[in-house]
Amino acid sequence: MFSVVFGVISWYLQNREMKEIQQTGLFMEIWQQYNSTEYAMHRYKVYEMSWENVEDYERKYQNIPAEERTYMAADVTIGRTFEGLSLLLQKGLIDTEWLSQLYGNDIIKYWEKFQPLFEEYIALGYEHPWSLVEPLYRKMKNIRDQRHPGKMVDSS
């Protein structure tokens, strides 16, 4: 009987340790992405974008020659990054707390910048752009609001 209990405890501890090792590896990959020059450049390009409405957005960023779509590429890259993080969070593969510490302000700022545009696209009959980002935004905003009530997102 003792050997069975010992075996179960040993198996549990090994599996827990393996999960921690896998999560640490995933964290390091996400950290490298977050800390990359490429991410920073895309992030700042997205923050530079401005538009009045859908027509203005498409004129400035979509209806131009492909080689000039650097702002659009930055937008898509950041949006896909946040959708991927949202999926990892939904699957329980990453920790909400450390995700909020790394990407929280970026997610909030991105969503709040693009939300009026997304709403306009939906009103025009398009599918919800970046629909996986919205629940992620809500989680990150809730965490930020609990920690720092009334604090604005960093503009840098």
Question: What's the structural domain count of the chain?
Answer: 1
Mean pLDDT in consecutive groups of 10 residues from the start of the chain, 156 residues: 54 64 80 91 95 95 91 93 93 89 94 95 88 94 87 58
Residue 3 belongs to some domain of the structure: no
Residue 109 belongs to some domain of the structure: yes
* pLDDT given at position 60: 94
Residue 64 belongs to some domain of the structure: yes
Residue 62 belongs to some domain of the structure: yes
Residue 30 belongs to some domain of the structure: yes
* pLDDT given at position 155: 47
Query: What's phi and psi for 110, nearest 5 deg?
Result: -60, -50
Residue 4 belongs to some domain of the structure: no
Contact 141, 115 (CB under 8 A): no
- DSSP-derived 3-state class of residue 94: coil
Residue range of the domain that includes 140: 25-147
C-alpha distance from residue 18 to each of 12, 14, 87 (Å): 10, 6, 21
Compute the C-alpha angle 29/93/25, nearest 5°.
30
Residue 2 belongs to some domain of the structure: no
Is residue 134 within a helix (H) or strand (E), and if so which, with residue range? helix 133-147
